[in-house]
Structure 1
Amino acid sequence: MENKIIKYVMLGTFLFSASVLGKNACNESLKFVADSFSVAPRGSVELNGTLGKYLKTSLNGNILVWDIDALVRPFKERNETKYWRCEFWGKWYTSAELAYDFQPSDVLDKRLRYGASELIKTQDEYGSITSYTKAREFFINADGGIGNNGSWDMWGRKYVLLGLLAEYNRTKNVKILDSARKHADYILNHVGRGKREIVQIGCWEGLASSSILEPMALLYKETGDKRYLDFCEWIVETWQTNPLKPDIMNKALKGMPVFDMFMHPIAEPKTYIHYGKSKAYEMMSCFEGLTELYRATSNPIYKDAVEKVITSIRDREITVLGSGAMHERWSNGAFEQQRTTPYWQETCVTVTWIKFATQLLRLTGDVKYANDIEIATYNSLIGAQGADGSWWSHYNNMSGTRSAAPEQCAIHMNCCVANGPRALFLLPKVAYMTSKNAIVVNLYENGKATMPIENGKVELLVSAPDYINNNVAEITLNGIENKMQKFGLKLRIPNWSKNTTVFVNGEKIENVKAGEYLNIVRQFKDGDKICLNFDVETRVVRDIRNPKFFVLKHGPFVLSQDRRFSNGFDNNVKIKLNKEKVNATAVFVKGTNVAVDVEMEDGSKRRFIDYASAGATWKSDSEFKIWNY
């Protein structure tokens, strides 16, 4: 089976590459896989509801004020030997690029140009941009280094390349692309066939270093330079042939659960490695790269592997909060949700899960990925951001207290603090998308979007439900050229809304199904109104493995008790259930997105709030818990 797959990969590469003439073939002549959905154009979306609040907080508390010089300094000093300061510039910078796409401004434009120019000043005469010492660059870890014992050099170079490519995409400044190519060429001169093996020069069985697959595939798409494609294909090949053999593509194709791909945690862990080796973030990053390689080659085996692994993650790892992993590793988490640990759901895992799902949503147009994004966003993601937007939590627990992520690598930064805004500012691009003369609506927020269709543009004015007093979303169409155009409107019907009704100008639309897209194709005219009445009730969702335990959900929100709001927090009075129904009343409570008063068995009322707002003080006064029994 494995030899057959290797031959398939190599044959697919040969047939595709044979048509590329010359080392620097023009990328315009190449054919890449077209996405089913395209993201919203730059500056086209305004979000003024729940998500808009978190976006603006992050913009003002982080993106517009962060010390860029501090992020560049490690690349000037080049004294790193084993840590990951090398990732911080690229993570923060790509967050800022996405923030610019959301709200373009002269201030942010200047910050981005400054951040790129200062980083490029650190590029040496050979093209290298790194924070590592010469002696430790591309350092070979004979044991497939893990955690703090290995080298994060290549991982950091990945984020440098992602940042430079993002800036080139924004500005089309050829000097930026030239710097990115020199940076990549330096890597190719030291790592590859007959040189250093990529799975031996990074942490976590070579997954961290291998994840440079993503920007290398993107660089190939920008330049048409076959060397970058060859390097990408070599990475995939070496997963299968190197003695360390992470072999993640074959394992995915065989349907192996991600938890089983590497060493399991031991029964009584005493050291960091004892918690297992199936590192969630790095693994998904590799499959994001494989998705980009599929776009570049159309090799179906890559798409098959990616779709199988993301299905495995959803089915076996993702919790009711929309994220997963314990101790940053896959853990069969969907079946372990009663485990008491403060190390649930690293924010970097949440971010990468949303990014990975977005990749597949773009590629396939399958609504299930939008459903994944919604659950993760309204629970694990926004719940991890601090009140002023300047900092994030590292883990997102089921109960207990939230806490600020620790500073890492002797710098005022943390991997999750740098990473959190990347998913947050991706959301405007996902909320509204386009597909073959159709506008796709995935997330319902107060605001507006100006989206392209075949003959012009359409402005969508949206008033969205607050899930307290109003459960209706209303979309008004304006700015239609010639006042009337035929196009499609694909409306995502949330899978939590079991009985949604939809009206266009008062006319009821049939065949509305929860968890699917409702595709309305017709002659739309200026002023047309689409109303969606969502079925918002507080409902019971039981634990997969131990159905004695359950959470309450209200719309997209998981509900939690919080010591600040729940009288009798320590009292074990049970919720009154009537055939899985609860008697609940939504109420407005300052400092929350949603609050619900729920009747208990003794006739009292207990207040629940949305998980994202629970624990918000990051102190014991806002201790919280989501599970009930």
Structure 2
Amino acid sequence: MKNQIGYSVLIFCCCNALSLGGQNKFANLAPVKFSNVQITDAFWKPRMDKVANVTVPVCIDQTEVKTGRIRNFERVAGTRDGKFEGIFYDDSDVYKALEAMAYTLKIKPDPKLEAKCDEWIDKIAAAQQKDGYINTYYTLTGLDKRWTDMSMHEDYNTGHLLEAAVAYYNATGKRKLLDVGIRMVEHMMSLFGPGKTHWVTGHQELELALVKVYQVTNDKRFLDFSHWLLEERGHGYAHGYTWTDWKDTAYAQDIKPVSLTTEITGHAVRAMYLYTGAADVAAYTGDESYLKAMNTVWDDVVERNMYITGGIGSSGSNEGFSKDYDLPNERAYCETCASVGMVFWNQRMNRLTGQTKFIDVLEKSLYNGALDGLSLAGDRFFYGNPLASSGTHFRREWFGTACCPSNIARLIASLGDYIYASDPQSIYVNLFVGSNTTIDLAKGKVEIRQETEYPWKGLIKLTVNPEKAQSFALKIRLPGWAKGNPGAGALYKFLDEGPTNFATLKVNGQAQNLKLDNGYLIVERNWNKGDVVELNLAMPIRRVVARDEVKDNENRMALQRGPLVYCVEGVDHNGSAWNLIVPDQVVFTPQWQPDLLGGVMTLTGTGMAIVPTKDGIGAQTIKQKISAVPYFSWCNRGSNQMLVWLPRKVKEIKIP
């Protein structure tokens, strides 16, 4: 556990802080909702179809047939006999599956899937108690125990109920589930809040979900309650925790008030959901102390505690953080849900600040740490995502704690939420994903059509079609990986400086000078229908090294091209990957492999390998063709050895 420092604070007056209400006091970026974005992308559209056609049905089957999650709701409603099945937080998996189903319905309407959603919602509504409470575990095992143990996920389940309800309302206009969720929150607010009982959520999630309900209903009670829950943290109010190590409440980020947080601690997923909620609340309250704290914690995560894949949480013992620069590879925990949380949090930070560095991390987590959690076939999953394997890791059909399958499903299905943003005078292009959308600006609507072969190629074509000629700024993110080496405090850097000209920009075929603001390339002009912007990003193969403090990566390097981190697998190297050496002079070249792993760009070069001598007594060094594949695609050809960080010298080889 990272070291903690004692502190004293003044009690916060929730009512005064929230009097700002309703207006974003910071960058004022508004994301374009997934429901307003049509994705045509050659990389992402097949994956979204796979989620709709394979992953969502897998989630339905596991939720409804192979486990007792839906049966628990039926038992509460009195339509089925029996005792509670599963784990006390299993209701949340029903809600996350529903959320993924809702996103899928919007991008691919399906009457049968919608009917299944309605069937589940009817069962959920039938399980709600008269006072609004809904939780199958306590209803079936003893309502007298409810709200006695802050670690038992009643609030976490409620948060996922609200997120599913908002998603389904946005997708279909139906509000039955939303009404169920609101009744549950009103039940909570009758018990907890200023002048009532204290409550510290053991597993954060409700805070960000309440903001989503506020955005849909414009009912400020939900924003106020979210802010109150955040302000409960760090004052010693936590109690009733059932596991053994809650003397150190850093596990659930309860050691300091949110506004005084300076470093990342504890459980990685809980931290991401907490900080997402804090950023959301800051956006509407104008609380600058939250923004300052989030920026400070973000620096601690990205500069000292994040894997090159954008994964976080190195320790399996607490599913989270240990100490700075402790980033083991084979033992990396890197829960899929934590990478999904990194996408959530960094999107919110971009909205608050208008800075592209947050989207750079979002993109890294999305394409590597999160996407790795889902198999190419869409029916197998990783819970943890190591950066090295001796061949013992494999993708599973499901988990006892099944948060990750539905979490990665809902992220991919809602990808449209992360591509574009706007303010009244500007359109922001954050991700390079083939898509179409229409955005309302102060002077009128503007249609944007994006075409690209990203992440394999760096050409992005944007066709701009305003409903009438108008002036505005088109702001296109220049990715961090396309800007050369980062500053001195960076956790990772490139061994070589690469090309001097990473990007070229054209408007209607005419070359433009690059004008940067907060990491965005700015094209400001009077736009007409059919105007075309072309951004061409160089995609050299980069060797990445870590700071000396990361002892596990000493004298090792990783390969990156564009946003993708690469790895080597034993299946491509006579069954072994840990015996490979890549001296600095090895030249790698990209090669498109249409029939490999669904179509990937591999990186190939001639390195060395340590192999046994013919007599089997000694070892010898031989030349070895090395072929690296994108990290997200590993372990789709069976369990085998894998490495992200490759030895640069013989002495670093460690044969498992």
Normalising TM by the smaller chain, what interval?
0.7 to 0.9
SS of residue matched to 2:626: strand
Shift of 1:295: 3.4
Aligned to 2:347: 358
Shift of 1:122: 1.8
1:418-475 Cα distance to aligned partner (Å, 9 max, x none): 21122223322212332333322222234444444442231414133463xx542233
Q: Distance in 1 between matches of 2:602 and 2:88?
A: 42
Q: Distance in 2 between matches of 1:226 and 1:2?
A: 32
Q: Distance in 1 between matches of 2:294 and 2:361?
A: 15
Shift of 1:392: 1.7
* Correspondences of 1:443-454 after superposition (within 5 Å): 443-453=431-441, 454=443
Aligned to 1:239: 233
* Correspondences of 1:307-346 after superposition (within 5 Å): 307-325=295-313, 326-327=315-316, 329-331=319-321, 335-341=325-331, 343-346=332-335
Aligned to 1:551: 558
CA contact (8 A) 1:41 1:451 kept: no
82-91 or 446-455, which deviates more: 446-455
Q: Provide structure 2 residue ranges, at least 5 long, that are not aligned to the other structure.
A: 1-5, 77-83, 239-248, 484-501, 609-621, 648-656
Q: Distance in 2 between matches of 1:131 and 1:377?
A: 33
2:526 to 523, 527, 542: 523
SS of residue matched to 2:471: strand
SS of residue matched to 2:348: helix
When normalised by structure 2's length, the TM-score is 0.78
Shift of 1:557: 1.0
SS of residue matched to 2:635: coil
SS of residue matched to 2:344: helix
Determine whether 1:485 maps to 2:486: no
CA contact (8 A) 2:476 2:521 kept: yes
Q: Distance in 2 between matches of 1:43 and 1:447?
A: 10
Q: 1:249 to 1:298 in 2, by over 3 A?
A: farther
Determine whether 1:61 maps to 2:81: no
Aligned to 2:207: 213
Determine whether 1:115 maps to 2:117: no
* Correspondences of 1:8-407 after superposition (within 5 Å): 9=14, 11-13=16-18, 15-16=19-20, 31=23, 35-40=28-33, 42-63=35-56, 66-67=60-61, 69=64, 71-78=69-76, 79=84, 83-134=88-139, 135=142, 137-141=145-149, 150-173=151-174, 175-192=176-193, 197-199=198-200, 206-208=201-203, 210-220=204-214, 222-223=216-217, 228-229=222-223, 231-244=225-238, 248=254, 250=256, 253-254=259-260, 256-259=262-265, 278-325=266-313, 326-327=315-316, 329-331=319-321, 335-341=325-331, 343-400=332-389, 401=391, 402-405=393-396, 407=398
Shift of 1:628: 1.0
Shift of 1:604: 4.3
Q: Distance in 2 between matches of 1:604 and 1:175?
A: 61
Q: Distance in 1 between matches of 2:156 and 2:522?
A: 41
Shift of 1:120: 1.4
Aligned to 1:472: 459
Shift of 1:243: 4.5
CA contact (8 A) 2:99 2:167 kept: yes
Q: Distance in 1 between matches of 2:138 and 2:34?
A: 40
Shift of 1:597: 0.8
Q: Distance in 2 between matches of 1:12 and 1:249?
A: 22
SS of residue matched to 1:306: helix
SS of residue matched to 2:182: helix
Q: 1:42 to 1:218 in 2, by over 3 A?
A: closer
Q: Partner letter of residue 371 of structure 2? A: I
Q: Distance in 2 between matches of 1:251 and 1:404?
A: 38
Shift of 1:9: 4.8
Q: 1:57 to 1:310 in 2, by over 3 A?
A: same
1:15-60 Cα distance to aligned partner (Å, 9 max, x none): 458xxxxxxxxxxxx5565841322451422132222222221111
Q: Distance in 1 between matches of 2:14 and 2:304?
A: 28
1:578-599 Cα distance to aligned partner (Å, 9 max, x none): 4xx7343434252152201123
1:196-220 Cα distance to aligned partner (Å, 9 max, x none): 5423xxxxxx431x54223334445
Determine whether 1:624 maps to 2:642: yes
CA contact (8 A) 1:496 1:514 kept: no
Aligned to 1:269: none
Q: Distance in 2 between matches of 1:231 and 1:40?
A: 24
SS of residue matched to 1:612: helix
SS of residue matched to 2:296: helix
Q: 1:386 to 1:519 in 2, by over 3 A?
A: same
Q: Partner letter of residue 214 of structure 1? A: L
SS of residue matched to 1:235: helix
Q: Provide structure 1 residue ranges, at least 5 long, that are not aligned to the other structure.
A: 18-29, 145-149, 200-205, 260-277
Shift of 1:133: 2.5
SS of residue matched to 2:521: strand
CA contact (8 A) 1:497 1:514 kept: no
CA contact (8 A) 1:102 1:428 kept: no
Shift of 1:351: 1.0
Q: Distance in 2 between matches of 1:420 and 1:151?
A: 23
Q: Distance in 1 between matches of 2:113 and 2:578?
A: 50
Q: Partner letter of residue 152 of structure 1? A: H
CA contact (8 A) 1:193 1:234 kept: yes
Q: Distance in 1 between matches of 2:426 and 2:112?
A: 34
Counting matched residue pairs gives 572
Q: 1:77 to 1:286 in 2, by over 3 A?
A: farther
Q: Distance in 1 between matches of 2:12 and 2:164?
A: 34
Q: Distance in 1 between matches of 2:507 and 2:323?
A: 42
Percent of counterpart pairs with the same letter?
19
Q: Partner letter of residue 424 of structure 1? A: I
Aligned to 2:487: none
Determine whether 1:536 maps to 2:539: yes
Q: Partner letter of residue 492 of structure 1? A: R
Q: Distance in 2 between matches of 1:320 and 1:36?
A: 28
When normalised by structure 1's length, the TM-score is 0.81
Shift of 1:543: 2.0
Q: Distance in 1 between matches of 2:405 and 2:580?
A: 38
Q: Partner letter of residue 478 of structure 2? A: I
Q: Partner letter of residue 158 of structure 2? A: R
Q: 1:536 to 1:515 in 2, by over 3 A?
A: farther
Shift of 1:539: 1.1
